[in-house]
Amino acid sequence: MTHETRPSYCRFCFNACAMLVDLEDGKPVAVRGDRSNPVYQGYFCVKGQQLVEAWRHPERLLRSQKRDDNGRHAPIASDAACDEIAQKLTEIRERYGPRSIALYSGTFSTANPASGAVVTAWMKALGSRMAFNSNTIDQPGKALAQALHGMWMAPFQDFATSRVALLIGVNPLVAMSGGIPQGNPGRFLSDALARGMQLIVIDPRRTETARRATLHLQPRPGEDAAIVAGLLRVILEEGLHDADFCEENVDGLDALRAAVDPFTPDVVASRAGVPAEQIVQAARIFAGAGRGVATAGTGPNMSGNGTLFEYLLLSLNTVCGRWLREGERVANPGTVVPPFPAIAQAMGPWPAWGFGEKLRVRGFTNTAAGMPTTVLADEILLEGDGRVRALINLGGNPVAAWPDQRKTIAAMKKLDLLVQIDIKMSATAKLADYVIAPKHSLEMAGITLNQDYLALYGVGFGYPEAYGQYTPAITEPPEGSDLLEEWEFFYELAKRMELPLALRQMGLVGPAKGEPVPLDMELKPTSEEIFAILMRDARISFEELKRHPHGAVFPDPPVFVAPRQEGWEGRLAVGSGEMMEALAKLAERPRAASDPEGYPLRLISRRMMNAYNSSARDLPALRAKGRHNPAFVHPDTLASLGLAPGDVVEIASDHASILGVVEADATLRPGLVSMSHAFGDVAPDATYDDAVHEVGSNTGRLTSVERDYDPFSGLPRMSDIPVRMVRATP
């Protein structure tokens, strides 16, 4: 038997932890964090530790599947699947036009960086602009806010030099999500607190991150836009903002000042249910610290007003001048992407919506965040010209993750063709005409390209330094399997449909660089050849990256922020007309005032360490902790409802109801139910059976996509959902 250990990185989540893989006879048997790695320093979570189990999971699909007329799936050779799917897509395209073919990319579409580039080229060659992704059911307000506000052409102040961090509804110690840099957030936070950084957390739950905060505000959910307006009001009134920076670079300060005026500490305190002094204190700490940024996560983004909230948050960072200035060193200028031309000047706003494909539903168009996924089910269901008839899901799970599960299921069933690229028979795969079995990450090469792009996602995201890693495929696919890399599937379709593919590279700033590179459509390229195309203008060459198989920091040559260009006139906008109008509306009444009566509790979203959206919980070590998503409730709330931990309850919104298993959690604000999403499979409407313990409950079912949505992004309330709860009767 041969033994060896090879370096690689984990692609289970976006954190991309550097790891060491032990192999016996070429087969992975164990993985662990790489202690010698400069950024991760050995960090490795419980999901990553199950990577080998995921690779050899008994339910992993080793062959693609085709569904027969009775709804049963049976293996099909990948070649035959590609032939049949290409044929069907060609027919649909000829008959109904390219718009009738849509794509949805979910969280696992980013695990292999070749996927995004090839699928984008494929959609372009096909002539369909109906490409949707999970960003628009995540935090679309971030991209819309950036468009309305404009962009500072140098990064935000880096975490390592920050004296404060303000985290709103984000929990990086569990989600590896933002607010603390990517890599080893626990370690980075400890280091920062040790050097005196102050941490302010605003979250209705005393999260793992909030426990370490200098100041924790535990508000009602859904009032975050009002809270940030309140912080801005204190800061502007007390003159704590960066007046010089605003004078030189910012438009709309007077409009903002007027619009936040109604949000006095007392008003915000009564709306959000926190002491007024805490609002004042948080504002003074944040502004007074002089250095450090405010970052938000999914919680406030999913609680309505996500776009307005993110706009105000960006404005808070801007009026406090939290952007790098001339001469400062850029800690992370990017590694696998083209060099970042940091300049101390502003790029003014750009269109946030109203361009590209016009949707037939609720007046939406393409947006700066992408095509709004919340309308896709209706685009499938609504009869008429342009109806979506074919959908390909790349590494996403609509049935589990989209809001309004019943509508989603109806839409999936109505499609002429549903293709699911999935590692297992997920909730959506069960309804698919074809399920394409992909290679596992351990069987594929990779580069940390999407991790580099994360720095652009929002303030407080990305690596702390210019870090990058390349990994070759670590092992061969299991014997007897018939698997494709996700991009190969689209390449194979393109060949059969005679669609020429050309790859574009995205810069960290501005549009794609250079001319698209045509792919050889006769001789299939390797993943490495695709990476080489994607990295051709990168700051660090692909060859250089490969010389560091354990991953490395690439600080040289250092990048410093250049002075403003002569005659440059761009300015950031903190007084956007649409946003000030939305804020005026918000001032008229507290959030809860427009909620339906008879639903006294609020269900909020949260992530758990042992689940990754709809993935991970079927892995042995994680499964042992239970396969369902508990409904966490404060013990006092439980008592007042006459419930005990372990009880099965019915949780009803005014749209639908689900079952849940309650658990006591004293870290929650009373009156809330905190539950993870993307559980619940394709379970029928609430019935009392074992399914609730086996597959959990789908919180997406509680939300309608047709009302009470963010008017700019289309995102309905996926957190802060009004519900009531009673013991379920068997």
The overall longest dimension of the chain from CA atoms, in Å, is 74
Sequence letter at residue 324: L
Q: How far is the CB of 405 from ligand MGD (least distance, A)?
A: 10
Sequence letter at residue 560: F
Instruction: Please report which residue ranges of 425-464 form alpha helices under DSSP H.
Output: 449-453
Q: Is 378 in the site for Mo ion (CB under 5 A)?
A: no
Spatial separation of the C-alpha atoms in residues 550 and 37, rounded to whole Å: 7
- The answer to whether the beta carbons of residues 538 and 338 sit under 8 Å apart is yes
Work out which of 614, 637, 657, 697 binds ligand MGD, going by CB under 6 A. Answer: 614
Which tokens go with 700? 């997406």
- The answer to whether the beta carbons of residues 602 and 720 sit under 8 Å apart is yes
168 binds, among ligand SF4, ligand MGD, Mo ion, none (CB under 5 to 8 A by kind): ligand MGD
Sequence letter at residue 14: F
DSSP 3-state assignment of 593? helix
- The answer to whether the beta carbons of residues 162 and 179 sit under 8 Å apart is no
Nearer to ligand MGD, 166 or 579 (CB): 166
Q: How far is the CB of 175 from Mo ion (least distance, A)?
A: 9
Query: Which residues, in sequence order, are CB contacts of 374 under 8 Å at separation 6+?
Result: 136, 137, 402, 403, 705, 709, 714, 715, 716
Total residues contacting ligand SF4 by CB under 6 A comes to: 11
Spatial separation of the C-alpha atoms in residues 109 and 129, rounded to whole Å: 18
Q: How far is the CB of 602 from Mo ion (least distance, A)?
A: 21
As a three-state string, the secondary structure of 389-410 is CEEEEECCCHHHHCCCHHHHHH
- The answer to whether the beta carbons of residues 354 and 573 sit under 8 Å apart is no
Spatial separation of the C-alpha atoms in residues 171 and 168, rounded to whole Å: 9
48 binds, among Mo ion, ligand SF4, ligand MGD, none (CB under 5 to 8 A by kind): ligand SF4
Spatial separation of the C-alpha atoms in residues 325 and 214, rounded to whole Å: 28
Q: How far is the CB of 195 from ligand SF4 (least distance, A)?
A: 25
Spatial separation of the C-alpha atoms in residues 164 and 346, rounded to whole Å: 24
Site string for ligand SF4, 152-181 (x = CB under 6 A): ------------------------x-----
By CB under 6 A, the residues from 458 to 487 that bind ligand MGD are 486
Total residues contacting ligand MGD by CB under 6 A comes to: 63
Work out which of 202, 279, 499, 659 binds ligand MGD, going by CB under 6 A. Answer: 202
Q: Is 224 in the site for Mo ion (CB under 5 A)?
A: no
Work out which of 20, 21, 39, 44 binds ligand SF4, going by CB under 6 A. Answer: 44
Q: Is 396 in the site for Mo ion (CB under 5 A)?
A: no
Q: How far is the CB of 591 from ligand MGD (least distance, A)?
A: 9
Which of 241, 251, 257 is CA-nearest to residue 319?
241
Q: Is 372 in the site for ligand MGD (CB under 6 A)?
A: no
Instruction: Please report which residue ranges of 75-112 form alpha helices under DSSP H.
Output: 78-96
Cite the beta strand spans of 521-616 per DSSP E: 552-553, 572-573, 601-605
Nearer to ligand SF4, 51 or 287 (CB): 51
Spatial separation of the C-alpha atoms in residues 431 and 314, rounded to whole Å: 41
Q: How far is the CB of 121 from ligand MGD (least distance, A)?
A: 18
Q: Is the peptide bond before 563 cis (omega within 30 degrees of 0)?
A: no
Q: How far is the CB of 28 from Mo ion (least distance, A)?
A: 27
184 binds, among ligand MGD, Mo ion, ligand SF4, none (CB under 5 to 8 A by kind): none
Q: Is 106 in the site for ligand MGD (CB under 6 A)?
A: yes
Work out which of 50, 64, 100, 107 binds ligand MGD, going by CB under 6 A. Answer: 107
Of the CA atoms within 13 Å of residue 725, those in its CB half-sphere come to 28
Q: Which helix (H) or strand (E) holds 516?
A: strand 513-518
Work out which of 15, 115, 278, 305 binds ligand SF4, going by CB under 6 A. Answer: 15
Nearer to ligand SF4, 15 or 218 (CB): 15
What phi and psi values does residue 268 have, to the nearest 5 degrees?
A: -65, -40
Segment near Mo ion (CB under 5 A); pick from 58-66, 131-139, 229-237, 678-686: 131-139
Nearer to ligand SF4, 12 or 434 (CB): 12
Q: Is 423 in the site for ligand MGD (CB under 6 A)?
A: yes
Nearer to Mo ion, 218 or 613 (CB): 613
Spatial separation of the C-alpha atoms in residues 633 and 442, rounded to whole Å: 39
Work out which of 699, 714, 725, 728 binds ligand MGD, going by CB under 6 A. Answer: 699
Query: Which residues, in sequence order, are CB contacts of 131 under 8 Å at separation 6+?
Result: 102, 103, 105, 119, 120, 123, 370, 371
By CB under 6 A, the residues from 223 to 242 that bind ligand MGD are 224
DSSP 3-state assignment of 391? strand
Q: Is 10 in the site for ligand SF4 (CB under 6 A)?
A: yes
Q: Is 21 in the site for ligand SF4 (CB under 6 A)?
A: no
Provide the Cα torsion 464, 466, 467, 468; round to 10°.
140
Q: Is 48 in the site for ligand MGD (CB under 6 A)?
A: no
Spatial separation of the C-alpha atoms in residues 236 and 233, rounded to whole Å: 5
Query: Which residues, in sequence order, are CB contacts of 382 under 8 Å at separation 6+?
Result: 360, 361
Site string for ligand MGD, 114-153 (x = CB under 6 A): --------------------x--xx---------------
Q: Is 720 in the site for Mo ion (CB under 5 A)?
A: no
Segment near ligand SF4 (CB under 6 A); pick from 14-22, 377-385, 552-560, 657-665: 14-22
Segment near ligand MGD (CB under 6 A); pick from 166-174, 272-280, 360-368, 590-598: 166-174
Question: Applying CB under 5 A, which residues contact Mo ion?
Answer: 138
Q: Using CB under 6 A as the criterion, which residues of the chain lie in contact with ligand SF4 when the complex forms?
A: 10, 12-13, 15-17, 44-45, 47-48, 176
Q: Where along the sequence are the contacts to ligand MGD (CB under 6 A)? A: 13, 106-108, 111, 134, 137-138, 168-171, 174-177, 202-205, 207, 221-222, 224, 297-300, 302-303, 395-398, 400-401, 421-424, 426, 438, 440-441, 486, 604-607, 609, 611-615, 674, 677-678, 699-700, 718-720
